[in-house]
Amino acid sequence: MRLDVRSGVLLCCKELTMRHDVDFLIIGSGIGGLSFALKVAEYGQVAVVTKKEAMDTSTNYAQGGIASVFGQYDSFDLHVRDTLTAGDGLCRADVVEIVVRCGPEIVGQLIDWGVSFTRDSTGNLELDLGLEGGHCQKRIVHAGDFTGHIIEQALVDRVRNQDHIGFFEDHIAVDLITYSTRMKRGTVTATHEDVCCGAYVLDTKTNEVHTFHAKITVLATGGAGKVYLFTSNPDIATGDGIAMAYRAGALVANLEFVQFHPTCLYHPEAKNFLISEALRGEGGVLIDSRGRAFMGDYDPQKDLACRDVVARAIDSELKKSGDDCVFLDVTHKEPGFLRERFPNIYQKCLSFGIDMTKEPMPVVPAAHYMCGGVLVDMDGKTDIERLYAVGETACTGLHGANRLASNSLLEAVVYADRAAQQAINDLKTMNTGLCPDPPPWDPMGTTDSDEAIVVSHNWDEIRRLMWNYVGIVRSNKRLLRARNRIEMMEEEIQQYYWDFRITLDLIELRNIAMVAALIIQSATLRKESRGLHYNIQYPQKDDKHWLKDTILRRPFVG
């Protein structure tokens, strides 16, 4: 037994085992979190918390690749130009310049860490480069059509071999701990000048909450695609990092810019399966149910237009025709080439009875990527001291109003590197007195729930609400309906959260409800159409009033 000096409560041995003291706490095990872990491992003890198995990340599902300048006719200036064009006026030019110029070095680093990218067929071991929408040159470094899986596996293997990195699989963060935390079931009283001291984390196997006391905390939890009914994202993408950061008082930005990937496989048994944009880069053509190629009606680049243009075009075609899907046709390409270049997509489609070498693939748009997130500076720091965010969780300024294809993995590694360098410096100079022992988690007054239907019903209703009212095309009336309904659901979910012991499902529901509300609020504020945000009441861009970020902060609670 020992006395907790802050609360005056005696802690038993079991409670002591539920306390973890580390130098670096990383929440998330995708490319951003693991890259950061590898960079800081020699400087302190690292804990990587991930809510499923280590490989269950959005990175693992990324098919396309990493955009980087290697081609003979390519240049940094061209890559910068393409990124700025896609971002539709909201990219930070200094961030774009830094990230793009780091590309070749980052690819080389991943190769050193064991990632085997596809080489070209000339025998000279040069990297094979693909073309995707919005790019004027071939610059997509890839590993077949399962690049993310190859990267994730290499990083997981490397991290597991590090003595100073501990993996905590099947653990989900509940809330951040800050200097101003006042404990009652993990409530955080947010101030606007605060210090992060770690996080409360639920062990989903035992349903016990552990306290992770950390000098540096990194949010690398990925995106929030599961806020929408149709998504290319895995089930883990519930916006946990964004919700936790906002509850703790951090700034979030540009959450109205949700990228809908134009082509997810449309099949009743094909859950979340993405049809890579690289197929259109290799000559794939979008057609309607009559076989008519329609992208020429919407953009001079036709099927290689940016994702927002293609997604809206498909949405428009489906509304006009009443069809359930459109089709992606690559049957004019050599079958052997398709099987070799896209083995994963070929086999997956074949498992559903679709031979992409002989028939068009049915496709629909689906929520894919969050261009907004937790606002960070050039080193990945949030406005809460000692709290960093990297990857899709963060809003760095690279993507602006629309992400250029295959810039996301590049951004994650570049910012993981910059954040690691800054965090190492912070660790050397920090005043440890700013992070006192956090109070233990207090579940007093709660019981086990006997109303699981409340969670499942609200989960389904939020996702349908967001798809129908806050999707590819928005309106003032739809956003108002969405806001009114989400406010009612948030109140119901909050009451449920206080009354019952927390579970994985309840934590995720709480987070998607909060992120949904933030997306609705951001979309309501922006009175124009730009990039991924399209409102039929404001169909034009308004550079005079809206050439700026949409920034939200939780109101101060005294």
The answer to whether residues 192 and 178 touch, using CB atoms and an 8 Å cutoff, is no
Structural domain contains residue 336: yes
Which of the four pLDDT bands, split at 50, 70 and 90, describes residue 121? confident
pLDDT at 496: 83
Model confidence at 557: pLDDT above 90: no
- The stretch 407-423 carries a mean pLDDT of 97
Least confident of 2-6, 210-214, 454-458, 535-539: 2-6
In a shared domain, residues 375 and 501: no
| 290 contact partners, CB below 8 Å, separation of at least 6 | none
Identify which of 348, 367, 413, 366 has the alpha carbon closest to the alpha carbon of residue 145: 348
Q: What are phi and psi of 329, to 5 degrees?
A: -110, 120
Shared domain check, 201 and 346: no
pLDDT of 505 over the 60 cut = yes
Asked whether residue 549 is domain-assigned, the answer is no
Statement: residue 471 has pLDDT above 70: yes
Choosing from 313, 337, 366, the residue where a domain stops is 366
**Would you say residue 192 has pLDDT above 70?**
no
pLDDT at 9 over 50: no
Phi, psi of 29 (to 5 degrees): -125, 30
Query: Is 440 within the bounds of a domain?
Result: no
Which CATH number goes with the domain that contains 474? 1.20.58.100
**What pLDDT does 183 receive?**
45
Mean pLDDT of 486-504: 88
Rounded Cα gap, residues 490 and 494, in angstroms: 6
CA 289/CA 154 separation, integer angstroms? 41
The reported pLDDT for the residue numbered 146 is 87
Same domain assignment for residues 187 and 329:
no
Say whether both 340 and 408 belong to one domain.
no
Residue 116 has pLDDT above 90, yes or no: yes
The sign of the dihedral angle between the CA atoms of 78, 66, 466, 327 is positive
- pLDDT of 5 over the 60 cut: no
Residue 288, Cβ density class (10 Å: 0-12 exposed, 13-18 middle, ≥19 buried): middle
Residue 558 is assigned to a structural domain of this protein: no
Same domain, 199 and 244: yes
- CATH number, domain of 327, equals 3.90.700.10
The rounded distance, in Å, linking the Cα atoms of 146 and 154 is: 13
Q: Residue 13: pLDDT above 50?
A: no
Q: Is residue 76 part of a domain?
A: yes
- What residue numbers bound the domain in which 530 lies? 452-543
Count of domains forming the chain: 3
User: Which of 332, 366, 400 is the last residue before a domain boundary?
Assistant: 366
Co-location of 340 and 397 in the same domain: no
Exposed / middle / buried, residue 122 (Cβ in 10 Å: 0-12, 13-18, 19+): exposed
More confident residue, 482 or 432: 482
DSSP string, 240-270: HHHHHHHHHT--EE-TT-EEEEEEEE--TT-
Q: Is 73 part of a structural domain of the chain?
A: yes
**Range among 174-188, 254-268, 369-383, 491-505 with highest mean pLDDT value:** 369-383
**Res. 445 pLDDT band, cuts 50 70 90:** low
pLDDT at 490: 92
Q: How many CA atoms lie within 13 A of 489 on its CB side?
A: 27
Query: Any idea what the CATH number is for the domain that residue 383 is in?
Result: 3.50.50.60
138-189: per-residue pLDDT in tens? 999 999 888 999 999 999 999 999 999 999 999 999 999 988 754 444 444 5
H helix runs in 275-352, sequence order: 278-281, 307-321, 335-341, 343-351
Cβ neighbours of residue 557 closer than 8 Å, sequence gap 6 or more: 189, 190
d(CA 523, CA 425): 38
Say if 354 falls within a structural domain: yes
Name the CA dihedral angle for 446, 450, 453, 456, rounded to a multiple of 10 degrees.
50
Name residues whose C-beta falls within 8 Å of residue 328's C-beta, 6 or more positions apart in sequence.
Answer: 263, 275, 279, 280, 284, 285, 286, 287, 360, 361, 363
Q: Which of the residue ranges 47-61, 166-180, 269-283 would you say has the lowest mean pLDDT?
A: 269-283
Distance CA 65, CA 113 (A): 16
Same domain, 463 and 340: no
> Is the same domain home to 306 and 401?
no
Range 472-485 average pLDDT: 96
CA distances from 78 to 69, 74, 104, 530 (A): 9, 7, 15, 22
Domain-embedded: residue 553: no
Dist CA 268 CA 75 (whole Å)? 43
Q: Which of 366, 392, 420 is the last residue of a domain?
A: 366
User: Is the domain of 326 the same as that of 396?
Assistant: no
The answer on 464 and 406 residing in a single domain is no
526 pLDDT above the threshold of 90: yes
Q: What whole-number percentage of the chain has pLDDT above 70?
A: 91
Q: What is the pLDDT of residues 201-232, one digit of tens each?
A: 999 999 999 999 999 999 999 999 999 988 98
Residue whose tokens read 């409670």: 15
- DSSP 3-state of 57: coil
Residue 345 sits in the same domain as residue 414: no
Q: Active-site residue numbers? A: 307
Give the pLDDT confidence score for residue 432 in this predicted structure: 63
pLDDT at 481: 96
411 forms beta bridges with none
Kindly state whether residues 293 and 324 are assigned to the same domain.
yes
